[in-house]
Amino acid sequence: MDRGNIFSGGAFRVTVYATTVLVALCITVAFAGYRYIQNEQINQLRGFLAPIGTALHTIQQGEGDAEFLIDARILSRQLEPSGRLIAVFDATGEQIIGARRVTPDITDWSVRALPGPDGTPGQEYYLTASTIGTHTLVVGASLEPVERIGEAFIRILFLITAFLSIIFIALGYATSRMVQLKLERLGDTLALVGEGHTDARLPVSPANDQIDRVARRMNGHLATLSGLMSATKSSAAAIAHDLKRPLARALLGVDRALAQVDKGADPQAALEDTRHELANLTGMFETILRIARIDAGHGEGLGGSVDLADLARDLGETFQVVAEESGQSLALVVPEGRAPVRGDAGMLSQMLVNLLQNAVTHGPPGNNITLSLTCEGRDLCLSVADTGPGIAEPDRTSVLAPFFRADTARTTEGNGLGLALVKSVTDRHGAILTLSDNAPGLRVTVRFPGAVPT
């Protein structure tokens, strides 16, 4: 796996941003915190040192210079080891108390670096001076503990920041890597599909994260796609097969006509057979193109209004004649009045013609066909029922596919496209096409939902 892909992954980038923000935040907190701690410490020092000066001052005033100097010396010795400093200067400016060398020229609280008693490098002291009688008193404290606390604070903060940053980055890397792995698997699967393995499906983990949900949806689309592809493959094969037959027969007809011409006989009959086959072929192409056109327009609105009652009456009368001619009968059950639906008159007319012609073509003499238009709730139902051989339950869906012909229908006329066109027209009109058992026979119902005005 390419590491660059992981580092460019969204999860990783987000953690890098988050870590940067965290570090910046920590630096700010460290700076402010350090300053705050220092101030607090210094205030504490002042709180400790100021009373000492006041106390020594009180002693000098109440009990005189000698007592003051004794107490100052004792205090100086006691406090010196803990980093405190008490120094006293006499009127000449000579330091008479205090191990650490200091100068009395201090006016207010200030920070000075003082050399150690044995000449070691200087330490910072926080100092103030005051005049007591003829003497000058300097009190102060080493700033070393203050700095130690500040440094400890910064060190802890640094450790926490480093620790969090490492955890963040690691988590980001891991997440990014996981996402990358998943995406690569998706990519691999899609590549497989692209190569023609339409049955390949994307892996879906039980985690059900965003990628899994997308993968699940893509799997749904892939299933539709592979269904369409196999349908296309099989219908292409079916088209080739079904178009080959009339072509082969037309070729035979031409050969027969040529043979007749050779013999000096009249080739008219053979040529007319050929013409008939070619006309059939043209009709099939016409229907295929028509279905494609209707399907291609899917989703576009149909502007017109078609009176189904009028259409049913008109075509019913026409097909009554056709049915009677084949020794069958057609009953028309259409109520008076209008039954308008939104749609295309040409398409709906062809739909009904196909249904009626199917009933006549596949029905035996004595077949009773009923064309009816009924209201069911708010739906308009147009149905063609016959008492013919019907369609076996398992075939009822497949007859709607182009070129499908039930085995029982192989011997009768037709090109296997009639019901496919009906299906396209009903789909285009948002109508529901159902094939059911008329016991005996077939009932085809086209339901136009919500067509009855309230």
Binding residues for another protein, per CB under 8 A? 272, 275-276, 282-283, 285-286, 288-290, 292-293, 317-319, 321-322, 325, 346, 349-350, 353-354, 357, 360, 414-415, 418
Residues 6+ apart with CB under 8 A from 318: none
Radius of gyration of the chain (CA): 51
Neighbours of 129 (CB within 10 A): 21
State the minimum distance, in angstroms, from the CB of residue 407 to another protein. 21
Sign of the torsion formed by the C-alpha atoms of 261, 266, 269 and 272:
positive
**Bridge partners, 307 (sequence order):** 340
| Residue 103 or 368 having the CB closest to another protein | 368
Q: How far is CA 86 from the centre of its chain?
A: 75
State the minimum distance, in angstroms, from the CB of residue 195 to another protein. 34
| Residue 322 or 452 having the CB closest to another protein | 322
Neighbours of 243 (CB within 10 A): 17
| Residue 288 or 334 having the CB closest to another protein | 288
State the minimum distance, in angstroms, from the CB of residue 321 to another protein. 5
How is residue 96 written in tokens? 């008479």
| Residue 60 or 274 having the CB closest to another protein | 274
State the minimum distance, in angstroms, from the CB of residue 381 to another protein. 23
State the minimum distance, in angstroms, from the CB of residue 289 to another protein. 3
Q: Which of 56, 83, 58 is nearest to 72 (CA)?
A: 56
Q: Please, are residues 446 and 383 in contact by the beta-carbon 8 Å criterion?
A: yes
| Residue 197 or 293 having the CB closest to another protein | 293
| Residue 198 or 277 having the CB closest to another protein | 277
| Residue 136 or 277 having the CB closest to another protein | 277
State the minimum distance, in angstroms, from the CB of residue 210 to another protein. 44
State the minimum distance, in angstroms, from the CB of residue 387 to another protein. 20
Q: Please, are residues 85 and 100 in contact by the beta-carbon 8 Å criterion?
A: yes
State the minimum distance, in angstroms, from the CB of residue 346 to another protein. 6
Cα–Cα distance between 341 and 380 in angstroms, integer? Answer: 9
Which residue shows structure tokens 């012909």? 405
State the minimum distance, in angstroms, from the CB of residue 334 to another protein. 15
| Residue 55 or 296 having the CB closest to another protein | 296
Which residue shows structure tokens 């003829």? 134
3-class SS at 427?
helix
| Residue 151 or 286 having the CB closest to another protein | 286
Q: Which of 53, 58, 94, 54 is nearest to 76 (CA)?
A: 53
Cα–Cα distance between 168 and 383 in angstroms, integer? Answer: 68
How is residue 318 written in tokens? 């026409």
Sign of the torsion formed by the C-alpha atoms of 28, 34, 39 and 40:
positive
State the minimum distance, in angstroms, from the CB of residue 344 to another protein. 9
Q: Please, are residues 386 and 410 in contact by the beta-carbon 8 Å criterion?
A: no
Cα–Cα distance between 142 and 115 in angstroms, integer? Answer: 12
| Residue 199 or 317 having the CB closest to another protein | 317
How is residue 81 written in tokens? 């080891």
Cα–Cα distance between 147 and 217 in angstroms, integer? Answer: 62
Q: Please, are residues 385 and 370 in contact by the beta-carbon 8 Å criterion?
A: yes
